[in-house]
Structure 1
Amino acid sequence: MKAAQVKRTIRRPEDERLPLGKTIAYGLQHVLTMYGGIIAPPLIIGGAAGLTPEQIGVLVASCLFVGGLATILQTVGIPFFGAQLPLVQGTSFASVSTMVAIVNGDGGLQSVFGAVLAASLIGFLIAPFFAKIVRFFPPVVTGVVITMIGLSLTPVAANWAMGGNSTADDYGSLANIGLAGTTMLIVLLLSKVGKAAISRLSILLAMVIGTIIAVFMGMADFSAVGHGAIFAFPQPFAFGWPVFEVGAIVSMTIVVIVILTETTADILAVGEIAKTRVDSKRIADGLRADMASSVLAPVFNTFTQSAFAQNVGLVAITGVKSRFVVTAGGGILVVLGLLPVLGRVVAAIPTPVLGGAGIVLFGTVAASGIRTLASVKYENNLNMIIVATSIAFGALPIVKTDFYDQFPTWFATIFHSGISSAAVMAVALNLLFNELKIGTPKRDGSAYAAAPPRMLIAEQIPRIVKASEVRGLLEGDLFKSGKLIDADGEEITVVDEDEFKSIVEEYRKKCQEAGVRCPDESEFIRSGPPAAQH
C-alpha cells in the first residue's frame, strides 16, 4: 500500500462529520452552554465604565461576533493558526478584574482596548515558545490541571444556580436553586434515556425544558426581546481609538500569560477527552489563533479571547468530538452578533437553568481529570505528593477568594486563577521530583523513566498497512522512500524480533542502574501491539 493510502487510513476523532441537522443542534448546545460566560464580561465592564444599556448592548454583540470568528478560526484552522480541536472561543473572564481596574483609571474604556491590543500582540509573539512547555505536561500534570478546570468552574455554576445577580432580592432563593436542581435532574434523566441522540442533546433539551418551566413559574422574562435593533454590524472602534498606557499594558500582559496557560490546559484537556494527539506544534497553532483573535477583538469593541473550559466538559459529557460541530457553534455566535434580537432571546434563558446544567458540565470536566490521574503510576515515586499539593494549592483562591488580596498585583493576577495556580505548582513539582535527579533517591523515589526509543517490529508492517490495523502508527506517520517517518521528520527504527528484545533488555539495565521505572515493551512501540503478540 502506498504512503498516501496508509496516511488516509488514520482518522482523527475530531475530524468526524455529522449530518447537518445534528451539527447545528450540537453547535447550538455549545452556544447555550457558554452564553452566560461570554456575555458576563461586557456586562460587568460596561457597568464599571458607566455605559448606557444601548452601549452595553454594542459590547455584548461585539463579544458574540468576535467569539464566533475566533471559534471558527480555532476549529477549522489555517496554516499556523488554529488547533483544529472542538474548542469554543470567547471573551476571557480571567481579564475582567484587571480591565475593571483599568476602566477606573484615567484612560477609561479606551485604555482597556489599548492594553488588550498591545498585550495580545506580545502574547502572539511568545505563543510558539510558550507551546514548548508541552513536554512538561505529563499525565500527572494534565490530570491535575483538567481536574482544577472543573473545580474552578463550580463557583460559577453555583452563582448561576442562585440567580447570577448577588444584589437581587431573590438571589439564593429556594425558587432559583429549585429551578437549577430541576434542570440538573432533567439532564440526568435524559442522559439515562436509551437513545444516544437524546442523551447527547441532554444539555440542550434540559435548558429548553427548564426555560419552559421557568415561564410557567413566572421566572422568565422575554419582554426585552423586542427592544433594540434587529440587525447591526459591529462598528470598528465604536468607542473611540485605543489609548496605550504602560501600566495598563503591563497588567494586561500578565493576564495574557494566564490566558495562554489556561488555553494550553484546555487544548490538552480536550485532546485527552477526544483521545487525539496534541503536540507542541498543535498547541502553538492554537495559541496563535487565540492571540490573533485577541488582537482583532479591540478593533470590534471587545476583549481578550480564550478557550472556554465549560465547553470542554460538554465534549466529555456528550461524546461528540467533531470540531465541525463547534464550527457550527461559531457560526451561530456570528449570527447572534449580527442579529442582536436573537441574542436577546438566548439571553432571556433564566440564569438558574444555566446553573443546573453547569453543575453537570463542570463536574464532568473534573471527572475527566480524575480519570487521567487514575492512569498515573503512584508506586515508588512522589506523584501522590505532586497531585495532592497541586490540587490543594489550586483550590486556595477558589475556597478563599481574598487569599491573595495582600499580595503584589502581578502575583495576585496569576495565582487568583485556580487553574493557573494548579498548573504552575504541578509543573514545578514535576520538574523537582521527576525531572531533576539531584536529591532524588535512586530507589522508591523517582516516578519517571527516560523516554524509550521508538521502534517498529518488521513483522508488524504487513499488518499496519491494512486499513483495519493501524495501531502501530501515530498521527502524522508515513512511509517515504521505503522508510517509516514520524510527524517530526525523524526515521523510526525498524528491527526484527531478536533485535527488539536485545534493545529492550539493554535499556532495562540502564533504567535499573539509574534507579528509574523502565517502560514495558509496548511503550517502545508507542501505541503499537506488544512484541509478545507477534
Structure 2
Amino acid sequence: MPGDQHAPARDRHPVDDTLPPFKLVTSGLQHVAAMYAGVVAPPMILGPAVGLNASETAFLMGASLFTAGLATLLQTIGFWKIGARLPFVNGVSFAGVTPMVAIGKAQSPENALPIIFGAVIVAGLLGFVLAPYFCRLVRFLPPVVTGTVITLIGVSLLPVAFNWSQGGDPAAEGYGSPKFIGMAALTLAIVLLLRKVLRGFLQQIAILLGLVAGTIVAIPLGMTDFGTIEDAGLIGFPTPFHFGAPQFEAAAIVSMCIVMLVCMTESTADMLALGRIVDRPADERTIEGGLRADTLGTAISPVFNGFACSAFAQNIGLVAMTKVRSRYVVATGGGILILLGLCPLAASVIALVPLPVLGGAGVVLFGSVAASGIQTLASAAMEKGENALIVAASVGVGLIPIAAPGFYHAFPDDLLVILDSGISTGCVAAIVLNLLFNHLGSKADSGESGAPVPGGTGASADAGEPAAATVH
C-alpha cells in the first residue's frame, strides 16, 4: 500500500535521518571547521617536542586528520557492536599530549614516536577489552551526575575558546592583543546576529557562515597565513608506520593506558550528554559500542601515524545549537576529514581560519554544552536529599584545574593525567558522592536522586540491553 512506503520514514529517529547532499556537505563541513584546530593542535605541540621539522610535523597533522575521520566513521556508521551510531565526532585527545611529550623527551628522537605509537596501540587494545565492563557505569549516572559532568565539559572547554581568542600561543607576538580579542568578539557577534536573523537551513549553519565571515574580515588585518597553501601538496597519503615500526616500552604503555581510561571516562560523559541533546538517551549498549569505536580507533591510529582518539565535546555543542541531529551529517564530516588528510592543500585551506575567529565561535559552542548540562540538572530533583551538595562539591572539584592550573603541581606526573582533567575529576567525584549519599545505606526513590538516567539502563537491566525509552 502507498501509505506503507512512508511508514519507516515517520518512525525513523532524527538521528538516523539522511539529508540532501548539499546540506550533508555544508553541515558536515561546519563540524570539521569547529573541531579542526583541536585535531591539529596535539601534533603541532608534539612534533617539535620530539624533534620533528616543519614538514614532518605537517605530515603528522595530516595523519591526525585522516585517523580522526576513520574514528568518526567508526562512531557514526559503525559495524557489528562497534560504534555509538550517534552524531559523535572523534579526534586526537588532548589528554595524551602531556604524557606523550614526556615520553618523547625521555627517548632519543628516532625512537620517540615508535615508542609512543606502540604504547597507544596497547592502550587502545586494552580499552577495547574493557569496554563491555566500563559501560556498566551508566547505571550509576543519574541526572544529578550527568548534568554535573555535562556542565563541566562545557565550562572546561571555555578556556580553550578564550585561548584561541587571544591568538592560541602565549609565546607568540601579539598574544592577547585588542586586535585578536576584538576579532573574536566580532565573530561572536556575527554568529549571534546570523542566528537571530536567518531562518531554516541557513540558521543551522550560522557557525560556518560566521567562521567564513570572520576569516574574510581577518584577511586585510594580516591574521591569515597563506604560506601554508603555497607549501602544501595536492596529494599526500599517511604512509603506515612512517616513523618506524612500533616499539613497546613498559613505562610508556602504563602512562598511555591511564590516558585511555581518562578518554573512556570523558567519552562516556560525552555520549550521555549527546544522547540527551538528540533525544536518544545513551544506554549501556550505546556506550559500549561508542567505547569500542573509541578504543579501536585508538589502536588503529598509530598504524597511520595518529594518536589516541576520543570524543570532541565542541561538536556536541554544535549539535545542540543547530538542532541537526543526523549522524550522517557527522559521518560526512568524517569523510571530509579523511579527504583533508589525503589532500594537504585542502587541509591548508581550512587552516586559513584564524584562531581568534575560532575562539569567538567557540564561546557559543562550548557555552551550549554547559547550558545543556544546566538543563539536565533542572530535572535532577535538586531539592531532594543531598543532590545540591553533590553538584556543589563535584563542580568545585572539577573547576580546580581551570581556576588554579598549578594546584596539583607537586603530584606525580602520571597522576596529573587524571588530576589536570576537570572533567575526569568532577565525574569521579559526582559518581562517588552519588553512591555515598543516594545508594549506600539508603534507598533512593525512583525518579529522584538515585534514579538511573532517563532512557538509561536500570540496576536490574541486563548489561548491554537497551531500555525501551531509547527507541523513538
TM interval, short-chain normalised: over 0.9
Query: Highest CA radius of gyration, 1 or 2?
Result: 1
8 Å CA contact 2:122, 2:253 repeated in 1: yes
Counterpart of 1:209 in structure 2 is 213
Match in the other structure for 1:510: none
Q: Is the 8 A contact 1:262 1:420 kept in 2?
A: yes
Counterpart for residue 90 of structure 1: 91
Partner of 1:169: 173
1:489–1:346: structure 2 CA closer, same or farther, 3 Å change rule? closer
Q: Secondary structure at 1:216's aligned position in 2?
A: coil
Inter-partner Cα distance in structure 2 for 1:108 and 1:123:
23
The match for 1:128 is 132
AA paired with 1:97?
Answer: T
Structure 1 position 148 matched with structure 2 position 152: yes
| Aligned twin of 1:364 | 368
Which residue number corresponds to residue 29 of structure 1? 30
Partners of 2:386 and 2:76 in 1: how far apart? 37
User: 2:53 matched to 1:49?
Assistant: no
Q: Residue in 2 aligned with 1:300?
A: 304
Q: For the residues of structure 2 that align with 1:386 and 1:222, how far apart are their CA atoms? A: 50
- Spell out the pairing of 1:465-484 with structure 2 (5 A cutoff): none
Residue 77 (1) aligns with residue 97 (2): no
Q: Which residue of 2 aligns with 1:280?
A: 284
Letter of the 2:79 partner, please give it. I
Distance 1:247 1:63 in 2: 24
Contact (CA 8 Å) 1:10, 1:475: kept in 2 or not?
A: no
Give the Å deviation of 1:151.
Answer: 0.5
CA distances 1:107-154 after superposition (whole Å, capped 9, x unpaired): 412211111111111111101100010001111011011100000001
Partner of 2:310: helix, strand, or coil?
strand
Give the TM-score normalised by the residue count of structure 1.
Answer: 0.82
In the TM superposition, what is the alpha-carbon distance from 1:196 to its structure 2 partner? 2.1
Residue 223 (structure 2) aligned to one of 219, 225, 234: 219
Superposition deviation, residue 7 in structure 1: 8.4
Aligned-residue Cα RMSD (Å) equals 2.5
User: How many angstroms does 1:12 deviate by?
Assistant: 2.1
How far apart in 2 are the matches of 1:365 and 1:10? Answer: 28
- Cα displacement string for residues 155-210 of structure 1 (whole angstroms, at most 9, x for unaligned residues): 10011000011111110000000000000000000010141222111100000000
Choose which of 319, 340, 349 in structure 1 pairs with 2:344.
Answer: 340
> Does 1:410 pair with 2:410?
no
**What is the identity percentage for the equivalent residue pairs of Structure 1 and Structure 2?**
49
- Counterparts in 2 of 1:448-463, with a 5 A limit? 448=449
SS in 2 for 1:278: coil
- C-alpha distance in structure 1 between counterparts of 2:40 and 2:301, whole Å: 14
Q: Is the 8 A contact 1:140 1:376 kept in 2?
A: yes
1:383 and 1:447 in contact (8 A); partners too: no
* TM-aligned CA deviation for residue 411 of structure 1: 2.5
Aligned residues: 456
The answer for unaligned runs of 5 or more in structure 2 is 1-5, 458-463
Could you tell me which residue of structure 2 aligns to residue 431 of structure 1?
A: 435
TM-score (norm 2): 0.92
Give the aligned residue type for 1:29. Q
Over 3 Å counting, the alpha-carbon distance change for 1:194 and 1:336 in structure 2 is: closer
Given the alignment of the two structures, is residue 157 of structure 1 paired with residue 158 of structure 2, yes or no?
A: no
Map of 1:250 onto structure 2: 254
Cα-to-partner distance string for 1:198-252 (whole Å, 9 max, x where unaligned): 2111100000000000012222121320213210111000000111110110011
- Higher RCO by CA contacts (8 Å cutoff, separation 6 or greater): 2
Paired AA for residue 406 in structure 1: A
Structure 1: gaps (5+ residues): 452-473, 477-486, 493-525, 529-534
The aligned counterpart of 1:388 is 392
